[in-house]
Amino acid sequence: MEDKVVCAVLPGFKTDQSAPPEQVIDNGAPVERIALLGADLPGLRPKFTCAEGDRISRGQPLFCDRAHPEINFVAPLSGLVDSITLGPRRSLSALVIRVEPEPDAPAPQRVAASTAAELRTMLLAQGLWPSFLTRPFGRTPAPDVTPDAIFVTATAEGPHAPDPRVVLEGRHEQFRAGLKALALLTAGPVYACQNSGTDIAAGLGERIRGSFFPAGHASGLAGSHIHRLHPVGARTMVWSIGYQDVVAIGSLIETGIADFSRVVSLSGPRARHPRLIRTSIGANLQDLISDDILPGRDGSAVSVVSGSALTGRPAAWLGRYHQQVTLLDDRAAQKPEPGTGWLAKLRKPSSRPGPIVPTSALETMLGFDTPAVPFLRALSVGDAETASRLGCLEMLEEDLAAVSLVCTSGADYGRMLRHVLDELAEDA
């Protein structure tokens, strides 16, 4: 069954006018270290099963969720636990692994996952359960929860994102095996959200539905798909998952081996050869891009962003859910000049946000049928009740990146949204 969905595209909205990456996959440079990041796991309180200095194997559990010990977080590669750093309230900041050569891989063997119980047990034990994110709240789902629907994001977030159809070449059978497995986890639909082309979910049954969205930033985000097809609220929960994680699930079922590789696009004005590269979740970005940085025209340093220029974050490590690495000129130390475009706006200090001026751009960028100004004011003052009533439960930080860019206040509404969502999650 195929759904054709019309979703708002941001008109004339460009954040990076550098060359798009060549849609050919190369192997990325070897990385010496990888990391599991607390920034990807809001609300998690880890219980460690390893210590600094321990030698660990790929797929070995490193820690679990203290609230749900069944949820394991495992090593993407073999190596030595280099460091474990904690944040506020003993939350995880980063667990760093110094990568060592892999031992011989075990012989592939098909895993029993023909029932929902078998599949859940496998995903929880093998470290793929964190592939799912809940709406509302954007957290790893509890092991015993059944979503009302599951959304597979197989759309390109923007012109510099990997083309999912290129990434899936040669892996369609594993992807389809993963899609069929997802249908065991919900009694509702599984939406395979994609851009134009042949339906990658065709022939998999009534509950696995191909849904098409036009290319563009907002229309490439899971929040837009969920808002258009299956809105959530206080009593409705859906899960989202990226298409590469669906491939990993299918691969695990067919081979018994968890795949933590990731194809990401390398792009931006400082990228020497914009292209797609295969690396590992949590890869050290300095190792990954060391030979791919163009010199700055004015001698400026490079700013390395995990994710896109709009929705990503300056980082030393590849985020768990990111599929882009963007190399920008680092202008943080330079005085912004009026009219220098999106980058100057992105760097604008926001410790004392200015007033919110109603504009048509605000309404266009939000795109959730929500009155923009009252909603942003509620986020600005931390009014969780009003923000919830106006629709924040459908959103995550990435959904507000464009709003932050065009709003006259200069505020980071993604950060404000996270504070409100965490408060609402604690009260749920």
Section 103-129 average pLDDT: 89
**Complete domains list, the chain, with CATH:** 2-255 (no CATH), 261-330 (3.10.20.600), 360-427 (no CATH)
Which pLDDT score, from 0 to 100, does residue 358 have? 82
* pLDDT above 60 (res 253): yes
* Phi/psi at 363 (5° precision): -65, -40
Return d(Cα 402, Cα 413) in angstroms, integer: 10
Residue 340 confidence (pLDDT): 37
Mean pLDDT of the chain: 89
Lowest-pLDDT range, 82-91, 175-184, 214-223, 263-272?
A: 214-223
* 17 vs 74: CA distance, rounded Å: 38
Question: For residue 16, what pLDDT is reported?
Answer: 60
Residue 29 has pLDDT above 50, yes or no: yes
HSE (side-chain half, CA atoms, 13 Å) at 227: 23
Q: Is the pLDDT of residue 256 over 60?
A: yes
Q: Is the pLDDT of residue 212 over 80?
A: yes
Going by pLDDT thresholds of 50, 70 and 90, the confidence category of residue 407 is: very high
Looking at residue 352, what is its pLDDT? 61
In this prediction, residue 343 has a pLDDT band, given cuts at 50, 70 and 90, of: very low
pLDDT of residue 234: 85
Give the whole-angstrom CA distance, residue 428 versus residue 166.
Answer: 40
pLDDT (0 to 100) of residue 240: 98
Q: Is residue 336's pLDDT more than 60? A: no
Residue that wins the pLDDT comparison between 237 and 351: 237
- pLDDT score, position 366: 86
Instruction: Tell me which residue of 287, 328, 336 sits closest to 305, measured CA to CA.
Output: 328
Question: Distance between CA atoms of 270 and 227, rounded to whole angstroms?
Answer: 35
Per-residue model confidence (pLDDT) at position 104: 73
* Six token digits for residue 54: 């321990």
Work out the percent of the chain whose per-residue pLDDT is above 90: 75
CA distance 63 to 71: 9
pLDDT tier, 279 (very low <50, low <70, confident <90, very high otherwise): very high
Residue indicated by tokens 């339906």? 199
Partners of 236 in the beta sheet? 233
What's the pLDDT band for 342 if we cut at 50, 70, 90?
very low
First to last CA, the chain: 34
Taking CA 150 as the corner, what is the angle to CA 146 and CA 156, rounded to the nearest 5 degrees? 155
Residue type, 107: A
| pLDDT confidence tier of residue 113, bands split at 50, 70 and 90 | confident
More confident site: 99 or 296: 99
Mean pLDDT over 253-281 rounds to 96
pTM for the complete prediction?
Answer: 0.91
Residue the block writes with tokens 């509702």: 188
Task: Write out pLDDT tens, residues 408-428.
Answer: 898 999 999 999 999 999 988
Q: Are 387 and 375 in contact (CB under 8 A)?
A: yes
- Using pLDDT thresholds of 50, 70 and 90, give the confidence band for residue 103: confident
Q: What percent of the chain is predicted at pLDDT more than 70?
A: 90
Residue 345 has pLDDT above 80, yes or no: no
Query: What average pLDDT does range 238-245 have in this prediction?
Result: 98
Read off the pLDDT band of 123 (50, 70, 90): very high
Q: What does the pLDDT average to over 62-79?
A: 97
Q: Is the per-residue pLDDT at 339 higher than 70?
A: no
